[in-house]
């Protein structure tokens, strides 16, 4: 069995020398023509151009009530999630006990007299 080696030529292996860029000149030469580069004044970096004038002042009381409602909703979702995780863990523990063949899996609570 003969081994096949890839055929390589000297055209495939060429080292390119990269020169660092120089400072930009006002005219750039491309081909036979020269192109004048545009110089644009830097824009301000604020968001004032996107602001719209307000017709009425902010209602801070309404905003605070909305924040309180959002906080209460988040707390309720968290509490429901914790309760659900605990109840699923308890059901899994009971199911594992029953599948092992034990008969005393369910916790019996007695009323205190």
Q: How far apart are CA 112 and CA 7, in angstroms?
A: 92
Q: How far apart are CA 67 and CA 75, in angstroms?
A: 12
pLDDT band, very low/low/confident/very high, at 85 (cuts 50, 70, 90): very high
Question: Is pTM, for the whole model, over 0.85?
Answer: no
Does the pLDDT value for residue 28 go beyond 60? no
What is the C-alpha R_g of the chain?
A: 38
Does the pLDDT value for residue 26 go beyond 60? no
The average pLDDT across 17-29 equals: 66
CA distances from 91 to 80, 84, 87, 107, 109 (A): 16, 11, 6, 12, 17
Does the pLDDT value for residue 84 go beyond 60? yes
């Amino acid at each position: 069995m003969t081994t096949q080696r890839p055929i390589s030529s000297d055209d495939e292996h060429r080292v390119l020398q990269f020169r660092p860029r120089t400072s930009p000149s006002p005219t750039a030469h491309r081909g036979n023509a020269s192109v004048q580069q545009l110089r644009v004044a830097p824009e301000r970096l604020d968001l004032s151009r996107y602001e719209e004038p307000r017709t009425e002042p902010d209602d801070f009381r309404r905003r605070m009530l909305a924040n309180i409602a959002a906080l209460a909703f988040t707390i309720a979702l968290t509490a429901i999630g914790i309760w659900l995780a605990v109840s699923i863990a308890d059901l899994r523990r009971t199911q594992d006990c029953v599948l092992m063949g034990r008969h005393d899996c369910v916790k019996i609570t007695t009323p205190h007299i």
